[in-house]
Structure 1
């Protein structure tokens, strides 16, 4: 199929760089990836993946909290920090990875 139409898109530069990195490892040029995406839209009659809001647990979904609830959670976190009831994030993630591998 002849390719003569041009798309001019504005995207986040970091997103573009990261996507190009992934596509480069796959050996797929960005233009081919966009072409594949557009073909899938035509084939499925819409966006070829589910477009939904993330299903965050209610306890951490700030879109469902009042300003007072958010501030109270931040205050509790700060108080935990001041009391020494925290741990290094890198160490916590490492412990998590070890227990789930």
Structure 2
């Protein structure tokens, strides 16, 4: 699979904190972002709770992230190819269109 680079812009303090946290968890920032991207594609959702008050939930979020990282690392599910992802999207769109037609009849 071809690899491409991606640029992410973020506040310098956030970057510093993110770098330090990834290091404490024993991974690079690149690995963390790849884990996140794979999880979003695999589950078709953001793989963690988004809260209005994240400071109170920071420890819980860290535990959940570690648990999720371990789950992904232990997963025996093969990575999806881009063609497989596109086929799933095509089938989902086809199904949605059929449901829409059914409501309009």
Q: TM-score, normalised by structure 1?
A: 0.47
Bigger Rg over Cα: 1
Please report the TM-score for the alignment, with normalisation by the length of structure 2: 0.45
Q: Which has the higher contact order (CA 8 A, sep 6+)?
A: 2
The answer to which structure has the higher helix fraction is 2
